Amino acid sequence: MGEPARGTQAVDRAMRLVATVVRADEPMAFADLFAECGLAKSTTSRLLTALERTELLERDDNGCYVAGPLFWLYAARHDPWDELVRLARPTMEQVGADTRETVNLAVTRGDRVVQVGQVDTQYMLGTRDWTQVEVPAHCSALGKVLYAYRCLPVPRGPLERLTPRSVTDGAALDRQLRQVLRRGWAITVDELEVGLCGVAVPVRGWGGDVIAALGVSGPTPRLEDRIEDIGRLLNDRAGQLTALLDRRTRKEGVA
Amino acid sequence: MGEPARGTQAVDRAMRLVATVVRADEPMAFADLFAECGLAKSTTSRLLTALERTELLERDDNGCYVAGPLFWLYAARHDPWDELVRLARPTMEQVGADTRETVNLAVTRGDRVVQVGQVDTQYMLGTRDWTQVEVPAHCSALGKVLYAYRCLPVPRGPLERLTPRSVTDGAALDRQLRQVLRRGWAITVDELEVGLCGVAVPVRGWGGDVIAALGVSGPTPRLEDRIEDIGRLLNDRAGQLTALLDRRTRKEGVA
DNA sequence: GATTTTGGTTCCACATCATGGAACATCGGG
DNA sequence: CCCGATGTTCCATGATGTGGAACCAAAATC
C-alpha cells in the first residue's frame, strides 16, 4: 500500500477497525468487520476486544460494534459546529484579506440564527464582535441565506422593523428569498442598522446540504458598490470550504 | 496492573494516549503526553504519529495533539443527547413497568423544551408520542423541572393560557418553581390539557448539573392520587441513571 | 432432541513487529 | 554561533502480536 507504516502494524489495523465502525455510523457485526478489513479472525477478535476495553468501541445488545464512550464524551462536550468553525477559519481569513471587511459565519441553533465565527475588519470602522449573538434573521444577509435554503422556518406573521428600510412584509421577504436562490447571495443594506451593509452566501457540507452561511459586513458606503464582486468572491470561497469539509470526512482508498 | 491484557500492548498504549487527549479536552503537548503515560520517548512519538495518520488525533497549529477527524465526524452526526437517550432507555422502561404510564425524557434545545425519549403507557388511554415535539414549558412538569433547575431561562412577561388551570402569572410560576426545588419534583394537573396529569424530576449528569428531566404522564384520574409515590419513584430511578452515566464517562484507575 | 452450520474466542509455536537507548534533526534564545 | 530543549529517526534485540487450528456457544436444520 502507499503508506509505509513503520512499526505500527497493530495500531494501524486497530484504527482501521475503529474508523470503519465510526464512519459506517451503524452497528457493525463482527463478521462484517472481519470481511471488510481482511485480517485473520483471531487478530480481528483480539483487536476488537482491546478496543472495547479501552472504551473506543462498544457492543450493543446484539453484540454489534458501535462507537464507544470516548466518542460520546467528545460529542457531549463539543458543538457539532466547533469543527466547522475551526476548518472555516483559514477560508474566512482569506475573505478578510480579500475584502478587508468583517467576515462572519452563522448557523441555525434551534430556530434562531447564531454567529459562530468572525474575522475582524482591517479598517477602524467596522462590525463589532457578534460571535454567539443572535441576529434578527430577516434583517441580516446571513439570516436571509439560511431562510432561503430552508435551514430554518420562514416566519409567517409581521416582522420587526429595526430601521426604516427593514423588510417587514412577509410577501416582500419571500420575493427577496427567491432572488437569493436565483443569484446565490443575499444582501442587507441599512435594514439591520442604518449604515450597515452585508452580503452572504450558503456554505454546503457533505452531501450538498446547506449547513451554514458565510458573509461579509461593513459600512454601507464602503460595500454597496462592491456587492456583486463580493457575492462572487464569497461563493468561490464557500465552494473551497465545502471541498475542504468533504476531504476531511471522506475515507481514503482501500487496497 | 489489574488487567492482564494479553497480546495488545501496542494498541492499549495507543488507546491510553487517545483517551488522555480526548478526556483532557484541550490541546496536549507531546511533552505532557510523554510525561503522563510513562512510555519511552520514541515509542510515544511513533504511536502518536500512527494515531495522527489514522485520523484519531490531530495536531493544532502549535503541534499540540487534539481529537481528530473521526471524533468530529461522530459529533457532527450525533446529537449530544443520543447517548443519554440510549442509556436512559432501560431506566425509562423500568419506570414504565412500575407505573404502567407513559414515561418521557426531555432536554432543552436552545431555549425550548424538547422531548427526546418516550416509553408508552400500557393502558389504552394515554399520552401519545411526543418525541421531538416542543412543549409549552410552563404547562408541563418536564418544563417546570428544567425551569426550576435553571436549564433554561424562566420567561418574564405573561404566559399562554392553554386550559383554565394553566399558570399564566409569573409570580405564581416562581412560587411553583421554588416548591419544585424544595421537594424535588414538579407536577402539572390539567394545565396543559384538561385531564392530563404529569410528574417530573431532574436528571443529573457527571458533576451534579441537571441535564434533563424525567417524567410520567397520563390521565388525571389515574395519576392524581399517586403523585407523591411517583415523585419518589422517579427520583430514585433518576439517581440510578445518574450513577450509570457517571460510570460510563469516568476513567478507570491508573497504576 | 440430536446434528450440523454459523459465528466468535482462546491457544500456542513462531518470527514479525514494536521497543527504547542513542544518535540525529529542529528550533528558540542567549 | 553555539547552546539547551524538544521531538523524530535508526537499528539491534527480544518481547509481542500473529494466524492457523482447536475449541466453544448458539442458532438453524434435520
User: What pLDDT does A247 receive?
Assistant: 63
Class of domain A81-248 (CATH, top level): alpha beta
pLDDT in tens, A85-113: 888 888 999 999 999 999 999 988 767 78
Residue type at B177?
Answer: L
Residue type at B150?
Answer: R
Query: What's the Å distance between residue A15 CA and nucleotide C19 C1'?
Result: 20
Q: Could you tell me which residue, A255 or B28, shows the higher pLDDT? A: B28
**What residue ranges of chain B are covered by domains with CATH 3.30.450.40?**
81-248
User: What pLDDT does A189 receive?
Assistant: 94
- Give the Cα separation of A207 and A186 in Å (integer): 22
Of all residues in chain B, the one with the smallest CA distance to A58 is: B248
Mean pLDDT, residues A125-130: 70
- Choose the weakest-confidence range: A150-159, A178-187, B191-200: A150-159
C-alpha cell at A207: 452531501
Q: Hey, which residues does A167 pair with through a beta bridge?
A: none
Mean pLDDT, residues B55-82: 84
Inter-CA distances, A159 with A29, A191, A199, B233, B252, Å: 52, 12, 20, 47, 55
Query: What's the Å distance between residue B160 CA and nucleotide D16 C1'?
Result: 69
Q: Could you tell me which residue, A180 or B156, shows the higher pLDDT? A: A180
Mean pLDDT of chain A: 84
B92: Cβ contacts below 8 Å, ≥ 6 apart:
B103, B105, B117, B118, B119, B214
- Give the Cα separation of A118 and B199 in Å (integer): 44
Going by pLDDT thresholds of 50, 70 and 90, the confidence category of residue B35 is confident
Going by pLDDT thresholds of 50, 70 and 90, the confidence category of residue B215 is very high
Mean pLDDT of chain B: 84
Going by pLDDT thresholds of 50, 70 and 90, the confidence category of residue A251 is very low
Check B74 against A74: CB less than 8 A apart.
yes
A248: Cβ contacts below 8 Å, ≥ 6 apart:
A87, B69, B72
Query: In this model, does residue B234 exceed pLDDT 90?
Result: yes
Start-to-end CA span in chain B (Å):
7
Query: What's the Å distance between residue A52 CA and nucleotide C4 C1'?
Result: 32
Instruction: Tell me the shortest Cα–Cα distance from B224 to chain A, in angstroms.
Output: 34
Find the helix or strand (DSSP H, E) in which B217 lies: strand B210-219
A46 touches strand D (CB under 7 A): yes
Mean pLDDT, residues B219-245: 92
C-alpha cell at B59: 495536531
Domain at A9-76, CATH from 3.30.565.10, 3.90.870.10, 1.10.10.10, 1.20.120.1730: 1.10.10.10
pLDDT in tens, B2-34: 444 567 888 888 898 899 899 887 888 888 888
- Give the Cα separation of A137 and A181 in Å (integer): 16
B65 touches strand D (CB under 7 A): no
User: What pLDDT does A129 receive?
Assistant: 73
Report for A74-78, A81-85, B81-85, B168-172: range of highest mean pLDDT: B168-172
C-alpha cell at A124: 477602524
Of the residues B39, B47, B74, B113, the best mutation for testing chain A's interface (the one with the most A CB atoms within 10 Å of its CB) is B74
- Helix pair angle (A81-99, A227-249), 10° resolution: 140
Residue B50 in contact with residue A5, Cβ under 8 Å? Answer: yes
The dihedral over CA atoms of B158, B164, B165, B166, expressed in degrees to the nearest 10, equals -30
pLDDT in tens, A10-22: 888 889 889 989 8
Check B56 against A5: CB less than 8 A apart.
no
**What residue ranges of chain B are covered by domains with CATH 1.10.10.10?**
9-76
Going by pLDDT thresholds of 50, 70 and 90, the confidence category of residue A252 is very low
b vs e for A200-224, b when ≥16 Cβ sit within 10 Å of the residue's Cβ? Answer: bbbbbbeeeebbbbbbbbbbbebbe
Q: Chain C positions under 7 Å from a protein CB?
A: 7-12, 16-22
